[in-house]
Structures are given as C-alpha cells and as structure tokens.
Structure 1
Amino acid sequence: MKNYLKTILLFAVFTAFAAAASAQARLTTVDGGAFNINDHKGKVVIMAVGASWIPLSAKQVEFTNVLSRKYAGKDVVVLYVATDSATQGSRNFASAADLNRFAATNKLAAAIIRDSDGAFMLKQFALDQVPSFVILGKDGKMVGEPYGGIDPKYDVTVPISRVVDRLL
C-alpha cells in the first residue's frame, strides 16, 4: 500500500512540474522563440491580453501605449499578449506577419508575446474575457483581479497606474 501511495504521489508531483513547464512553453515571441514570464521577476509586469481581430483591441493598444510611456525606465515591463491562434486554418488565425502588421498599424509600443491558443492566459489568470489587463507583482504573482473588458469611455490606465505605483 505504501508503494502504491508513493507512486501516486510521485506521479502527481511529476504531472504538476510538467504542466508548469508546458504552460510556460505556450507563451512565445511572435517569431516563435521561447518566452518565460518568470524571467521578469523583480519587476512589475503589466500584460494587455487581447487579439488582433477584436475591434476593441485598438483601444486597448492606446491604453497599453500610455502605460508603456508612463513606466519607461522604471522596474515595469509592459507586454501585449496576443491570443490569436497560431494554427493555420483556425477561425482566429493570425500569422506572425499579421501580428506585426497589427502592432505597426496601431503603433504598439510594447513587445508582443503570443499565447497561441489563448488557453494559458485564460486559465492561469482566470480571465473571463478578452481584452483584459493583468498585473503581476515583483514576486511574479497576480495582483488583484484582472481588468476585463474595455470601455472606450473609461480610462483603465488610472486604476492600473494606482496599483503599479503602489508596487514600485
């Protein structure tokens, strides 16, 4: 019985490590390179989670650019996490060229990171809608709740800035 319990415990630990590694591997640079969000521990991270095909994403980019300019030169990393599918033929497919064109058209000032199926961001940070903003503290943990949805008449940078300023 003890060996059976040890085997189950060992399997559970292995599965947890594999899931964590797999989740990190899902975030990539636009050109497909590996991206590990844990590399930014020690800095506050603001992630704008969106998709190029969502009409409100252009407004989200405006807010992202405001935050990028405001925190330039500080211990803050601002990222745009594109949840567009990387699978050709998928309904929400966007190639690297499509994402780069989206960034150029909207004058995106933040680096684009890709969550090629959207699952990592949605699960990891309990997002219930896109576009959203997520803030990670210097310890790499999410601070507060995600800022979900974009109301073009409401400046979401104000509450985000309050949280970020408190963390610096």
Structure 2
Amino acid sequence: MSDDLQLPERSRIVQERLSEAGLTAQVRELPDSTRTAAEAASALGCEVGAIASSLVFLADEQPVLVMTSGRHRVDTDLLARSIGAGEVRMASAKQVRAATGQAIGGVAPIGHPAPLRTFIDEALDDYPTIWAAAGTPHTIVPLDVDQLVKLTSGEKIRVAAE
C-alpha cells in the first residue's frame, strides 16, 4: 500500500475523493501496468471479471462513463438502448482526457474535473471485491459494487449480451 504523498497526482485526487466519501479503500500503486483488464487481473491474482474497466463513450456526443466487468466488451447498441441514446461510440483518447483528466488505461470512476453520468455493469455484482483504476495505468483501488454506485451516483445496467 502506498503512502498518499507518494501517489501520482491523479491518484492522490482519487484517494481524496474516496476519503471525502467516507471510504477507507486505499489506492495501491503496482509495479507493472494495469492498463488492460488482463494485466490488472494478473498483477492482482484475481479473475479478469473482477476488474472494473472504466470506459468513456460519447452518447449523443455527451461523455458517459461505463464501468464494465473485464470479462466482456460493451455492446454499444445495447448500451444506447439502455441509456436512451440515439448513438453511442467510443471516445477518443483526447476526449477521454478532456472528460476525465486521466489517460486511457488509468481512468478512475471518480476524480474527474466534473462528474460524469455513469453506468455500472450489473455483471460486477458477481464479485465481492472489484478493482478499478485509480487515475493512472499503475494504480488501482479495491471497492465493492455498492461503494462504486455510491461514489459515482451510477446506474446499474446490462452492457453486454453474455
């Protein structure tokens, strides 16, 4: 576990938001990249499905955050129907950075310049502990789904046809 002062700036912001929410979860800095769900699962010794991948999409040109289980890909047609959007497409790296202040592979569910409308994959309910990026590709934080919902004011939905 890293000391807060030794965390990268983006991860310190995430840790501050966790503390402000009254959570004791600690951001951890890992020696290897956790940019992909498979890398994160390998580094943590957990199932890839327990990795809460943070993906930014543009829904009718507005950024939305989707926290999805690492075990599958988001079905953009299903997502569009579920959230009432006409069109949903993946955000570019530049759009992700603008919306979150964080780089792809390190996008946390919190700590953005402004809150994002957030959707949480109901498949994450299958895991007692989920792991989300914490502001950089080398930082991660353990949460449970209820904490994730509370932190993000997110709505649980189905995002993939399994």
Q: TM-score, normalised by structure 2?
A: 0.27
Bigger proportion of residues as helix: 1
